[in-house]
């Protein structure tokens, strides 16, 4: 490579202000004026680049699969700058997602488009230069363009000026790897038309939008993409021989290419290790990151550690604390609860973590960790202690406690926004006085929407709190959370949440709470076909309720018991519902008495006393409407429709059921909406409506039952399929 600088005879002195006096262009002679000691003037000529001064520094990628869409996006971006000013492309994403491999792969494919060479700068190797990384990076580029060390200008400004001159007239690609600051890019943009700069970074470089940069975020590989990469690394036959284990490995690696490379290296270097065996090792979350390593320096922890160690201390502390948050997603309020700070401060730190690509923002305004990033946050907390304390596990327990209290307050507010006068055992008045009610103005629909969106996180919080024995928070949270399931039947979660709550209440010595939760538990059990288990829970609930002496609770538990007997023995159900009605009336519980009357009327209808049932149900509906309980009044209307049907009054039955469906849908009482829809479908042959109407009713009912995981969905789906196949 030809050295560029003054000819010999000047004692190796570096001419000052080189960049400020360059003229001409890289394709011809350039005259340089300067001064040396004593003010002696001199002139010298910078020769044009030699024909072989074509840098080719971008590392080759040995194996690269997938990313076809992303490579195409880069090609599209390049086309816009083919004959224009140099363009800037930024590849972002979390550590280990394959940004460097992607950049290098594209550079290899685009080699012919840059006849004057490709330069590569790895900023990770320049990190420890105390702010001199940009100056050294420009120096590296000048060296690549033929400037020897002894003639490099001393200041950054001089180096940048000389670099622009040397790059003018060249069509070249510059790959800048692991950039952390926009200034690292802007100083290195070449001057030649048709040139390009391709940047990789896990940091927020949005300021480069002012320089017309294009941004492309890389996401982890999907299952098929991960399998394809494993097949390339380990051999297609090995992967095909145990496809389920390979898919499990992709899942455990979260689709991160770096993690897949690491596990593939372990499989290739350890003969005793199989796909199934390695998947079994990685299944233990506490050991997963440690097993994703090949030697001390090549590990998943080391990859994520690079981004973590760049964080400011407060952001690093929040990162460690968020690793203990039980749910998969969280908002600023939950993050604030985890850190014991306010939402504004938490939001600023979340922005920092997102800018570092350690957090992803979701479309609904929440944040989430990649699974491996969450494990790294916990691993880092366990090593250092979020506050430097000797027992980092104590801080983890404190995070779970704060988050549980946070969700308890919000869920209780939501519960009350949906139905203020519902029976509750937990007295949360003091807790709720300490915070603002977020649903005070938004109302019922917003409260239900929030609980539906937070369902996975509340479930995770219940499990974590129960595991660490926080019984005093678990059972009130389970009680409040059931408001969601009364409207949206997610049967598995409803059952589990009430099981956790009932067990916590029993351990805490709270008989009234235990009775309430066990009686509620009977509902998902009955819907899941576990009738015997439901009966056992109800027997325990009756005993605990009677022991508590709580009159309204005693009535409520018997209401649930009557609903069990509705299935097994209608006559016995009538007796139990009458008992519940009497207890509510004696306690002055008007709404409870109206609900008990509704169930009594339904039991009378099931027992064949349809006329009496109609009178009882009409009285119950009128009382519920006066109390403003549209949801329960609509359920009574549906029962009235069924009674009309049993009395061979199909038109009256249809009208009542249609009205009930409309109100139940408006009230988000979808489980009961589905019941009314099936009743309407059954009624169609008697009302003269066509098969299309039946299909409409059944399709909606199937949708509701399938969403909630109800066993009834399968039979309804089969019925709908048979109808679809029936001609006419």
Q: What is the DSSP letter of 419?
A: -
Q: Could you tell me which residue, 53 or 293, shows the higher pLDDT? A: 293
Residues contacting residue 237 through CB under 8 Å, at least 6 positions apart: none
Tell me, what's the pLDDT at 72? 87
Tell me, what's the pLDDT at 112? 87
Tell me, what's the pLDDT at 727? 62
Residues contacting residue 284 through CB under 8 Å, at least 6 positions apart: none
Structure tokens that stand for 44 in this block: 């010298």
Tell me, what's the pLDDT at 303? 86
- Residue 308 and residue 353: Cα distance in Å, rounded? 9
- Residue 572 and residue 603: Cα distance in Å, rounded? 9
Q: Is the pLDDT of residue 390 over 90?
A: no
Mean pLDDT of the region 82-93:
81
In this prediction, residue 40 has a pLDDT band, given cuts at 50, 70 and 90, of very low
Give the count of beta carbons closer than 10 Å to the beta carbon of residue 287: 12
Q: Could you tell me which residue, 727 or 357, shows the higher pLDDT? A: 357
Query: Which run of H or E residues covers position 718?
Result: helix 712-725
Q: Is the pLDDT of residue 565 over 50?
A: yes
Q: CA 707, 708, 712: angle at the middle one, nearest 5? A: 100
- Residue 297 and residue 597: Cα distance in Å, rounded? 71
- Residue 170 and residue 27: Cα distance in Å, rounded? 9
In this prediction, residue 320 has a pLDDT band, given cuts at 50, 70 and 90, of very high
Structure tokens that stand for 179 in this block: 């950039």
Give the count of beta carbons closer than 10 Å to the beta carbon of residue 116: 21
Give the count of beta carbons closer than 10 Å to the beta carbon of residue 728: 4
H, E, C per residue of 453-481: HCHHHHHHHHHHHHHCCCHHHHHHHHHHH
Q: What is the pLDDT of residues 571-607, one digit of tens each?
A: 999 999 999 999 999 989 999 999 999 999 999 999 9
Nearest one of 331, 336, 337, 384 to 359, comparing CA atoms: 331
Mean pLDDT of the region 95-104:
89
Tell me, what's the pLDDT at 281? 87
- Residue 635 and residue 638: Cα distance in Å, rounded? 5
Q: Strand, helix or coil at 381?
A: helix
Q: What is the pLDDT of residues 500-544, one digit of tens each?
A: 999 999 999 999 999 999 999 999 999 999 999 999 999 999 999
Q: What is the pLDDT of residues 443-469, one digit of tens each?
A: 888 999 999 999 999 999 999 999 999
Q: What is the DSSP letter of 122?
A: E
Tell me, what's the pLDDT at 384? 63
The full DSSP string for 189-235 is ---STT-EEEEEESS--GGGGGGT-EEEE-----HHHHHHHHHHHH-
Please tell me the least confidently modeled range out of 252-256, 362-366, 544-548, 560-564: 362-366
Q: Strand, helix or coil at 727?
A: coil
Tell me, what's the pLDDT at 18? 30
Which of 77-81, 653-657, 723-727: highest mean pLDDT? 653-657
Q: Strand, helix or coil at 31?
A: strand
Q: What is the pLDDT of residues 605-635, one digit of tens each?
A: 999 999 999 999 999 999 999 999 998 999 9
Distances (CA, A) of 103 to 64, 95, 394: 11, 14, 43
Q: Is the pLDDT of residue 643 over 90?
A: yes
Q: Is the pLDDT of residue 393 over 80?
A: no
In this prediction, residue 348 has a pLDDT band, given cuts at 50, 70 and 90, of very high
Q: What is the pLDDT of residues 712-725, one digit of tens each?
A: 888 889 888 888 77
400 φ/ψ sector (left φ>0, alpha ψ -120 to 50, else beta) = alpha
Among all chains, which residue has been given the structure tokens 């299944």? 283
Q: Is the pLDDT of residue 269 over 70?
A: yes
Mean pLDDT of the region 418-434:
92
Q: Is the pLDDT of residue 6 over 50?
A: no
Instruction: With beta carbons less than 8 A apart as the criterion, state whether 477 and 461 touch.
Output: yes
Tell me, what's the pLDDT at 76? 83
Q: Is the pLDDT of residue 470 over 60?
A: yes
Among all chains, which residue has been given the structure tokens 């938004």? 442
- Residue 170 and residue 191: Cα distance in Å, rounded? 8
H, E, C per residue of 240-309: HHCHHHHHHHHHHCCCCHHHHHHHHHHHHHCCCCCHHHHHHHHCCCCCHHHHCEECCCEEHHHHHHHHHH
Q: What is the pLDDT of residues 211-246, one digit of tens each?
A: 888 898 989 989 998 999 998 888 888 899 899 999
Please tell me the least confidently modeled range out of 81-85, 329-333, 401-405: 81-85
Q: Is the pLDDT of residue 144 over 80?
A: yes
Residues contacting residue 658 through CB under 8 Å, at least 6 positions apart: 680
Instruction: With beta carbons less than 8 A apart as the criterion, state whether 462 and 393 touch.
Output: no
Across the chain, mean pLDDT equals 85
Which of 48-62, 139-153, 693-707: highest mean pLDDT? 693-707
Among all chains, which residue has been given the structure tokens 């992803």? 360
H, E, C per residue of 151-162: HCCCCHHHHHHH
Instruction: With beta carbons less than 8 A apart as the criterion, state whether 474 and 504 touch.
Output: yes
Handedness of CA 427, 428, 430, 432 (dihedral sign): negative
Among all chains, which residue has been given the structure tokens 């051999």? 235
């Amino acid at each position: 490579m030809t050295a560029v600088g003054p000819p010999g005879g000047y004692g190796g002195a570096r001419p000052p202000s080189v960049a400020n006096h360059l003229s001409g262009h890289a394709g011809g002679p350039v005259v340089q004026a300067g001064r040396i000691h004593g003010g002696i003037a001199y002139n010298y000529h910078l020769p044009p680049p030699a024909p072989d001064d074509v840098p080719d520094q971008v590392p080759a990628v040995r194996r690269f699969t997938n990313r076809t869409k992303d490579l195409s996006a880069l090609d599209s971006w390049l086309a816009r700058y083919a004959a224009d000013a140099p363009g800037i492309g930024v590849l972002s994403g979390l550590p280990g997602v394959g940004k460097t491999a992607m950049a290098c792969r594209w550079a290899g494919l685009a080699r012919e488009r840059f006849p004057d060479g490709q330069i590569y700068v790895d900023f990770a190797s320049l990190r420890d230069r105390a702010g001199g990384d940009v100056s050294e990076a420009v120096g590296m580029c000048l060296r690549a363009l033929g400037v020897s060390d002894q003639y490099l200008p001393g200041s950054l400004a001089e180096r940048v000026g000389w670099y622009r001159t040397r790059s003018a007239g060249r069509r070249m690609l510059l790959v800048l790897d692991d950039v952390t600051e926009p200034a690292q890019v802007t100083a290195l943009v070449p001057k030649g038309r048709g040139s390009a700069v391709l940047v990789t970074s896990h940091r927020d470089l949005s300021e480069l939008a002012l320089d017309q940069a294009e941004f492309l975020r890389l996401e982890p590989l999907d299952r098929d993409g991960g399998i394809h990469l494993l097949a390339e690394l380990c051999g297609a036959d090995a992967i095909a021989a145990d496809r389920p284990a390979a898919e499990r490995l992709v899942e455990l690696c979260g689709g991160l290419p770096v993690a897949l490379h690491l596990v593939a290296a372990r499989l290739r270097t350890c003969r005793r290790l199989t796909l199934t065996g390695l998947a079994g090792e990685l299944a233990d979350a506490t050991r997963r990151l440690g097993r994703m390593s090949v030697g001390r320096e090549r590990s998943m922890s080391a990859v994520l550690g690079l981004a973590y160690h760049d964080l400011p201390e407060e952001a690093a502390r929040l990162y460690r604390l968020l690793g203990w948050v039980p749910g998969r997603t969280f908002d600023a309020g939950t993050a604030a609860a985890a850190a014991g700070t306010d939402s504004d401060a938490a939001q600023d730190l979340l922005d920092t973590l997102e800018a570092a690509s350690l957090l992803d923002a979701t479309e609904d305004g929440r944040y989430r960790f990649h699974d491996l990033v969450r494990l790294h946050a916990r691993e880092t907390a366990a090593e250092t202690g979020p506050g430097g304390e000797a027992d980092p596990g104590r801080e983890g327990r404190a995070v779970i406690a704060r988050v549980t209290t946070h969700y308890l307050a919000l869920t209780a507010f939501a519960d009350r926004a949906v139905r203020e006068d519902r029976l509750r055992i937990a007295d949360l008045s003091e807790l709720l006085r300490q915070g603002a009610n977020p649903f005070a103005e938004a109302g019922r629909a917003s409260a239900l929407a929030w609980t539906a969106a937070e369902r996975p996180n509340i479930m995770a919080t219940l499990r974590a709190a129960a595991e660490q024995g926080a019984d005093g928070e678990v059972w009130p949270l389970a009680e409040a959370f059931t408001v969601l399931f009364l409207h949206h039947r997610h049967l598995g979660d409803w059952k589990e949440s009430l099981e956790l709550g009932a067990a916590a209440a029993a351990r805490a010595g709270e008989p009234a709470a235990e009775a309430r939760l066990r009686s509620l538990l009977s509902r998902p059990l009955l819907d899941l076909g576990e009738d015997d288990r439901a009966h056992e829970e109800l027997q325990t609930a009756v005993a605990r309720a009677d022991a508590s002496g709580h009159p309204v609770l005693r009535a409520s538990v018997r209401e649930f018991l009557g609903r069990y007997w509705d299935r097994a023995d209608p006559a016995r159900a009538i007796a139990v519902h009458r008992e519940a009605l009497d207890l509510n009336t004696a306690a002055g519980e008007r709404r409870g008495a109206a609900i008990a009357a509704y169930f009594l009327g339904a039991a009378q209808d099931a027992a064949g006393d349809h006329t009496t049932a109609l009178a009882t149900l009409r009285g119950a509906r009128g009382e519920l409407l006066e109390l403003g309980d549209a949801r329960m009044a609509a359920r009574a209307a549906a029962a009235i429709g069924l009674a009309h049907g049993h009395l061979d009054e199909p038109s009256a039955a249809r009208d009542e059921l249609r009205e009930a469906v409309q109100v139940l849908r408006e009230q988000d009482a979808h489980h009961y909406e589905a019941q009314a829809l099936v009743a309407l479908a059954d009624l169609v042959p008697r009302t003269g409506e066509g098969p299309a109407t039946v299909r409409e009713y059944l399709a909606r009912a199937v949708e509701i039952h399938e969403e909630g995981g109800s066993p009834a969905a399968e039979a309804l789906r089969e019925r709908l399929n048979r109808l679809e196949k029936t001609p006419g």
